[in-house]
Amino acid sequence: MTVRTRFAPSPTGLLHIGGVRTALFCWLYARRHGGVFILRVEDTDRERSTPEAVQVILDGMRWLGLDADEGPFYQTQRYPRYREVIREWLAAGKAYHCYCSKEELEAMRNAQLARKEKPRYDGRCRSRREPVAGVTPVVRFKNPLEGAVVVADAVHGDVVFQNSELDDLIIERSDGNPTYNFCVVVDDYDMKVTHVIRGDDHLNNTPRQMNMLRAMGVEPPVYAHLPMILGPDGTKLSKRHGAVSVLAYREEGYLPEALLNYLARLGWSHGDQEIFTLEEMTALFDIADVNKSASAINPDKLAWINQQHLMRLPPGKVVPELRWQLERLGVSAASDSMLESVVLAQRERSKTLKEMAEASRFFFEPPKDYEEKSARKHLTAEAAPVLEQSKAALRALVDWNPAPIHAAIQAQAEAGGLGLGKVAQPIRVAVSGGSVSPPIDQTLSILGRDETLARLERAIAYARR
């Protein structure tokens, strides 16, 4: 039997990190077993679902490379099917009309709470024969009254629920629309889902869904309930920390590979390994290695993983993202080959592509002004002759490459009886505007001879002013 998993977000908010981790595990599991990954949009809440939110989900999934084999399916387009099942259940006595008013339900709930009981519907309409005039009923599922449901969860093990704890849930509202738990059941059934991998918060819904699946005449799929992801402070994800659209991570300069790697390591592990390519994760992923406890996001570690990927990926792979970041800074991009050199020079000193772009501006446009502290220290009257001589030596170079550039600067230092830093730092400030850049030979090599000489000229004038 081929494995079929599904990711079923509801487009009522943002596709955030928690959702992405769920999607990733579904995707990995399907890929690992040569199965099918389904995307299903659960938009039955017509009040809160928006087309924009749907688009964010689609864009996010695309950016991450979590491609679906089937879908996206939309629940709102499946209403005829849901009605059909409800009619069948009504006819078969698996469901019934309930005419209780909201006030009546409210009173029931309050009474139960007062008795320190769990609030739940008492099934009083189960035996009602006649419609109540003037009331449009809802439809409720007849949950078994006795016995227990065992959820054989792939991460938690067996979890037992007594049917006496469950009640007859509403499957069709009085406005005729089906409800979430019911739609999920019909969809998972129709789409032949074999593995339901979703957040922990659904564990309590599972026995109801299993009862309904059995009412449809099938044995439920395998369930795997993933632990929650928390904010850095260990509390629930909120807008203030982490609960932002995945696309915000792109803007912050994270690679999809890195974000996915980081998310996979939240709740899943493979020995001591920290860095995984997507291929490695696909080959190694197993639900048996998923742990049960919630975990907090650690932005520092995400940044570290991002840099590890920046350093390992072929530079050509990161060029498009760097170009995108530079464009966001209003810097018009250069050739791919130059950008590749920039990636190579900058990647071990950049946690994110955003940082890399900011630190690389000077390669594409002269510094507007020198960083004050650096200029005061390195663009001094004493430095002027050093810059002057360096400029002459560089102008005379036949081969404009890191090795000869390095040799020329080294020679300047020795001739003046100076440390390399006394020569390199003024040059660095002259070309980059600040005191931090990749090694000076690499920097000048990328910048090009003409641009280097022009910037030295300007800096010499500044030092002598």
Q: Enumerate residues 378-417 that contact RNA by CB under 7 A.
A: 406
Give 36's strand partners.
4
**CB atoms near residue 370 (< 10 Å):** 20
133 Cα distance to chain centroid: 51
- Choice between 256 and 267, CB closer to RNA: 267
| Rounded-to-integer distance, Cα 304 and Cα 126, Å | 59
E strand residue ranges, 182-297: 195-199, 222-226, 229-230, 295-296
Q: Which H/E stretch holds residue 326?
A: helix 315-328
CB of 192 to RNA, least distance (A): 20
Q: Does residue 147 touch RNA according to CB under 7 A?
A: no
Torsion, Cα of 130, 132, 138, 141 (10° steps): -30
**How far does CA 199 lie from the centroid of its chain?**
15
CB of residue 2 to RNA, shortest distance in Å: 25
In sequence order, what are the beta bridge partners of 225? Answer: 198
CB of 337 to RNA, least distance (A): 22
Whose Cβ is closer to RNA: residue 8's or residue 339's?
8
If binding is defined by CB under 7 A, does position 132 make contact with RNA?
no
Give the x/- contact pattern for RNA in 149-188, rule: CB under 7 A: -------xx-xxxx--x----x--xxx-x-xxx-------
Paired sense of beta strands 195-199 and 295-296, if any: unpaired
Residue with the two structure tokens 């059995």: 214
Give yes or no for residue 430 binding RNA (CB under 7 A): no
Which of 70, 84, 117, 414 is close enough to bind RNA by CB under 7 A? 117
Residue number with CB closer to RNA (221 or 434): 434
Q: Does 316 bind RNA (CB under 7 A)?
A: no
| Residue with Cβ nearer RNA (65 or 419) | 419
Residue closer to RNA, measured from CB, 336 or 421: 421
Smallest separation, CB 354 to RNA (Å): 15
Beta carbon of residue 398, minimum distance to RNA (angstroms, whole number): 20
Q: SS3 for 265?
A: coil
- The H or E element that residue 130 is part of is none
How do 157-162 and 70-74 pair as beta strands? Answer: unpaired
Q: Which residue has the tokens 């850095």?
A: 232
Within residues 327-366, the interface with RNA by CB under 7 A covers: 348-349
CB 346 within 8 A of CB 377: no
State which residue, 1 or 114, has the beta carbon closest to RNA: 114
The least distance separating RNA from the CB of residue 406, rounded to whole angstroms, comes to 6
439 binds RNA (CB under 7 A): yes
Nearer to RNA (CB atom), residue 126 or residue 336 = 126
Letter string b/e over residues 159-196, b meaning 16 or more CB atoms within 10 A of that residue's CB: bebebeebbbbbbbeeeeebbbbbbbbbbbbebebbbb
Q: Which is nearer to RNA, 194 or 360 (CB)?
A: 360
Q: Please choose, from the candidates 200, 205, 204, the residue with its C-alpha nearest in 3D space to the C-alpha of residue 226.
A: 200
d(CA 170, CA 277): 45
Omega of the bond leading into 256 within 30 degrees of 0 (cis): no
Annotated active-site residue in 94, 116, 239, 391: 239
Q: Is 239 a catalytic residue?
A: yes
Of 91, 102, 127, 279, the one binding RNA by CB under 7 A: 102
Looking at residues 71 to 100 of the shown chain, list those that interact with RNA (rule: CB under 7 A). Answer: 100
Residues composing the chain:
465
**Residues in region 182-241 near RNA by CB under 7 A:** 200-205, 227-228, 230, 234-236
CB of 460 to RNA, least distance (A): 19
How many CB atoms are closer than 10 A to CB 271? 7
Return the range that interacts with RNA (CB under 7 A); candidates 240-248, 249-257, 382-390, 428-436.
428-436
**Pattern of binders to RNA over 21-60, x per CB under 7 A?**
---------------------xxxx--x------------
Site for RNA contains 372 (CB under 7 A) = no
Residues with a known catalytic role: 239
